[in-house]
Structure 1
């Protein structure tokens, strides 16, 4: 399993104004069912590959 830290430093992009609720920053990946934080470009790009595995988050 790939750890999030192995993908490099966080890349927290700015998308204009902030969503009204914290939950709006996340979506569920259609392929693996994992929650993806849209504010972290590493996670978004990782989950674009249809054959990816789930990410392991660092403790």
Structure 2
């Protein structure tokens, strides 16, 4: 399983236009694997855009957040 740190150093993303958003507004669920993606870290965004990818392995210092799946 790939770790976020395996993808290299942080590639920060920026919000362009619009108003500031709440903290939870920076995240979305990947439609392919269901993992939460922090849009402020472009490594995560690029990883989750790749067809057939696996979820990233969580790391203690990484910003990948595991949420329980909704039933």
Fold-level similarity (TM above 0.5) = yes
**Larger proportion of strand:** 1
Unaligned runs of 5+ in 1: none
Q: In the alignment, which residue of structure 1 is the partner of 2:66? A: none
Q: How does the TM-score come out when normalised to structure 2?
A: 0.75
Q: How does the TM-score come out when normalised to structure 1?
A: 0.89
Computing the radius of gyration from Cα coordinates, the structure with the larger value is: 2
Number of residues paired by the alignment?
59
Q: Distance in 1 between matches of 2:52 and 2:44?
A: 14
Unaligned runs of 5+ in 2: 61-71
* Larger relative contact order (Cα-Cα within 8 Å, sequence gap ≥ 6): 1
Superposed CA RMSD in Å reads 1.4
